[in-house]
Structure 1
């Protein structure tokens, strides 16, 4: 069993890295192709790469990842596409966070863990182009394994056709794995990305799933791969539709205020942010999701 899961871990981590490479390349193509419209006279944006590291409580190697960030491009104001592979022993806070959601046999006696995934957040120059979030991951402990992730659209100026197209594309990638998955995970996203203290949603939703383990690792990994594959066709259609639109000062103000909501959610409620900080991962990588500018009224 150990050898089997060592192989599966390697396969999953390699996929997350492959998906990162695909997305980074596609976003740089978008930057190169924006030759008319707002901000097309500036240099196309490029990703800057930085290795991230994580140290265990006694200083031993505990994994790390690759942080890829583009800033001040023609289309993307700030976008991060991070991959990580971390391992070691879960501290008490992280154990409590996990066991509050999921029964993990033997975790107290053997708190080892391994996790790998991709996390992406894009904040756009044009207020008419929606911000977006996507992540997928695999988690393992001696007591079990599971997958999680999803994607959600966060427009500050909503267009109904963009919302419909985004959801329809996600549904198309989910349905081959079971027609019950999209409505189940859409509802979960609506619940998860709700901001209680504002009494409103963070955006227009998408899909969200966590602690996902049917007992068939291959099938669950195939579903997780397709969630990742759905991202570019789901999002780039919205970028192409809106990137040439002009905007007003009022539009920009609306965008900055909406970004404040996004920052509040990620700092107060987001599981990934909490877990990353609890387990000692690079804080710059964990907080990559925060927008470059935001405003509160």
Structure 2
């Protein structure tokens, strides 16, 4: 049975995530200047549901998704084992975002913030927070990379001096396409299964996760404004489609959130909202030496200090 104290905390998290979704959609509509997010409310037969909001064919954004979900229920023993969670009544809620721009000069961006808890059969509450934000430029601009990582470091440093270096390394390791031996982009921060300890309370962890979420709109609005009017041609568009292909590979092969959604019978359209409208795979594609494409490919590796 869920205690009234924890039910209040659940409600606080859910309300904050719903508000975050609304704030981000409003800010991104303003940054795009044309596109409007549609609303698609859905229910999960086993318990819970969510609200998927999609913007398509905007001035800047070809396809953007901002998804809120709150799902709950009892996983099967097989599901609990596969997802590495204890058996019991679970609740998972969060906001997940992926944005694919029309211009190859504007980067792809992803963010996720989430809260997960399980009430075990012996009435023990096990919870954790997770999330992250990462940037996938089609063409790496070192000034943009520095700006992006500096903003994330500022958020992390408010809560713990180890958060940025720890979560930056975690992102490098997580957003890595093993079969290509390349990172998905320039990383960012990633964290999972965060719990309170002697240094930080549950409430402070929630404040941190929410501040990561609130950093999304100003960061991406800046990157849109800076890059949306840069010129590009057919060569850059082809490279964009190839890089989108890498993005698809990561999300379908490695992404934990995608796997969780599929294992818990989530809504497939909402789970796969992260995929672009178009992508390409060219057999043995190799960029020309010393080209902008080759320079970007050379920077898709772990351990780069962007600051």
Q: Report if TM-score (shorter chain) is over 0.5.
A: yes
**Superposed counterparts of 1:42-53, under 5 Å:** 44-53=34-43
RMSD (Å) for aligned C-alpha atoms: 1.1
Aligned equivalent of 1:259, options 221, 236, 244: 244
1: CA distance, partners of 2:144 / 2:235: 21
Matched, 1:54 2:44: yes
Aligned equivalent of 1:209, options 188, 191, 195: 191
**Superposed counterparts of 1:105-144, under 5 Å:** 107-108=86-87, 111-142=88-119, 143-144=125-126
Aligned equivalent of 2:56, options 71, 77, 81: 71
2: CA distance, partners of 1:277 / 1:95: 13
Structure 2 unaligned residues grouped into runs of 5+:
120-124, 283-307
Q: Give yes or no for contact 1:93–1:278 (8 Å, CA) kept in 2.
A: no
Q: Give yes or no for contact 2:93–2:115 (8 Å, CA) kept in 1.
A: yes
1: CA distance, partners of 2:157 / 2:215: 12
In the other structure, the counterpart of 2:3 is 2
Give SS of 1:140's match: strand
Deviation at 1:147, TM superposition (A): 0.3
Q: Give yes or no for contact 1:54–1:63 (8 Å, CA) kept in 2.
A: yes
CA deviation digits over 1:123-163, x for unaligned, max 9?
00110000000010000101411100010000111100011
In the other structure, the counterpart of 1:27 is 28
Deviation at 1:93, TM superposition (A): 4.1
Deviation at 1:237, TM superposition (A): 1.5
TM-score with structure 1 setting the length:
0.90
Deviation at 1:94, TM superposition (A): 3.0
In the other structure, the counterpart of 2:207 is 222
In the other structure, the counterpart of 1:279 is 264
Deviation at 1:182, TM superposition (A): 0.6
2: CA distance, partners of 1:70 / 1:129: 16
Deviation at 1:92, TM superposition (A): 3.4
TM-score with structure 2 setting the length:
0.87
- Number of aligned positions between the proteins: 273
Matched, 1:150 2:132: yes
1: CA distance, partners of 2:42 / 2:137: 30
2: CA distance, partners of 1:242 / 1:219: 35
2: CA distance, partners of 1:22 / 1:161: 27
CA deviation digits over 1:88-132, x for unaligned, max 9?
011334312332xxxx5xx34xx2100110000000011000000
Give SS of 2:131's match: strand
CA deviation digits over 1:210-242, x for unaligned, max 9?
001024210110111111112122222211110
Structure 1 unaligned residues grouped into runs of 5+:
33-43, 57-61
